[in-house]
Amino acid sequence: MIKTEIKKISNYKKELSITMEKADLEPIREAQVRRVQKEVQFPGFRKGKAPLGMVKKNYADAVEVYTLEAALDESLQKSVIENEIQVIGTPEAKKVDFNENGDLVSVVEVETTPDVDLKKYKGFHLIKDEYEISDQLINDTIQRALKEKAELHTVDGAIEKDHQVVLDMQELDENGKPIKDKIYKDISLTIGQGRFDPELEEQIIGLKNGDEKNIEKVYPDDFPQKEYAGKKEAYLVKIKSVQREELPELNDDFAQELNAEFKTVDDLKKATREHLEYNYKMESENRLNQDLMQKLLEENPFEIPQALVDNYLNHIVSDVKRRDPNAKEEVIRQHYQSEAEFTIKVHYLKEKIAKVEKIEVGDSDTKTFLDELKDEKIREFYEKNPRMMDNAREDILQKKINDFLLKNTKIKTNKVKL
């Protein structure tokens, strides 16, 4: 018989004082005697065939060590099962001894799934962005699609705005001589795009392919970076290519080329609007959900065992290194540490809310899910795959929890015109 006294150390640490009665120890001790019997050999006996009495007498210390280890493990396992304790990480034995009755008494510290003390999870005030898609945004989006299909043509004349230029730049000293190791080759820039120094770019306009020219930049005396203030940089530039972008015409043929379902430019614009509306709606909902989860954590703070975080990060490290074997594990762990803590805490918070509010997934929920699957093969796949159905139930549960939280949150709409 196992008796357990539980002392709460923190929201995720418990101290278990476990007593295993002497009568329960004897079967364990006998099993360990037989274990030792199989491992030893005495003169006149084959290995594993020595009398048990002889084994007990000659290997008493080993038997007691094995008995203690096995009894400690068995008592802990029975204790956590009987008390429905989910152990995280490796238990730490603080004390192991026998009392005056010969019972085994152990004190074991365990990390468990965290206890969440709910303080507030209703009545939050949040803002949700509601986007209005403008014609300009639709035109800009289509313009980007046109640019992706653009063709480049060599320019024989002078460099102008929007031309794409490739050049070399050799930095010069104050005497106009090339500085060793200060040559920058095959710099690509689009004139007027704003990604190149405008003062230098202005001096490039008007040049032609193959031209060379000395250009310079003078930093003002009040330049924020003092090491550059009042100084001058000089370069010799050589133009290696000049091209211009020629966009396809926006017509029905272009729309059909993008998608065979489009018949006209109006179809393309309509689909673009729907796509943008959907994307921005999802972005808004995801941000609202993130804000809600952040608010939940702020109002219901609690600690989690590092073992949970480490386990989460182990999966991420494995996934990242599978895609990039050269990625450094330490860097990965540091990068995802905050995400791991946030995700784990949200999981246990929502689990607690579901328990308190009795939010569950019933047969009707799974039936609705399956009924909404229009593809019969996909539906059959779910029905025959228990793991997939478990995943579906978890998704349904998470949606029900989110819907409950949003229903109990006061949401103000912020209209944003794009």
d(CA 256, CA 248): 13
Q: Look at domain 2-112 and name its CATH class.
A: alpha beta
d(CA 346, CA 102): 46
357-361 long-range Cβ contacts below 8 angstroms, 24+ apart = 357/404, 359/397, 359/400, 359/401, 359/404, 360/397, 361/393, 361/396, 361/397, 361/400
Q: Same CATH topology for 2-112 and 151-246?
A: no
* 42-51, 206-215, 362-371, 377-386: segment of lowest average pLDDT: 42-51
Residue whose tokens read 């101290």:
15
Q: Is the pLDDT of residue 225 over 80?
A: yes
Q: What is the pLDDT of residue 16?
A: 92
Q: State both tokens at 126.
A: 């949040």
Contact (Cβ atoms closer than 8 angstroms) between residue 272 and residue 142? yes
Per-residue pLDDT band at 48 (split at 50, 70, 90): low
Contact (Cβ atoms closer than 8 angstroms) between residue 205 and residue 192? no
DSSP string, 320-331: HHHH-TT--HHH
Strands 410-417 and 125-132: parallel
Q: What is the pLDDT of residue 55?
A: 64
Q: What is the mean pLDDT of residues 242-255?
A: 93
Using DSSP, how many helices (H) and how many strands (E) does the chain show? Answer: 12, 11
Per-residue pLDDT band at 102 (split at 50, 70, 90): confident
d(CA 322, CA 96): 43
pLDDT digits (tens, 9 = 90+) for 68-97: 888 888 889 899 899 989 898 888 888 888
For residue 101, which phi and psi values (nearest 5 degrees)? Answer: -90, 0
d(CA 205, CA 161): 8
d(CA 230, CA 239): 28
Q: What is the pLDDT of residue 116?
A: 92
Q: Is the pLDDT of residue 120 over 70?
A: yes
* HSE-up of residue 69 (Cα within 13 Å, Cβ side): 8
Q: What is the mean pLDDT of residues 118-140?
A: 95
Q: What is the pLDDT of residue 195?
A: 87
What CATH fold (topology level) applies to the domain 151-246? Chitinase A; domain 3 (3.10.50)
Per-residue pLDDT band at 25 (split at 50, 70, 90): confident
Using CA atoms in the order 178, 179, 181, 185, what is the torsion angle rounded to 10 degrees? -40
Q: Is the pLDDT of residue 299 over 90?
A: yes
Q: What is the pLDDT of residue 414?
A: 95
Q: What is the DSSP letter of 230?
A: T
- Where do the domains of the chain lie? 2-112, 151-246, 255-302+357-417
Q: Is the pLDDT of residue 194 over 90?
A: no
Q: Is the pLDDT of residue 47 over 80?
A: no
Q: What is the pLDDT of residue 26?
A: 81
Q: Round the average pLDDT of the chain to a whole number and report it.
A: 90
Alpha-carbon separation of residue 70 from 3, 16, 89, 346 (angstroms): 17, 17, 19, 38
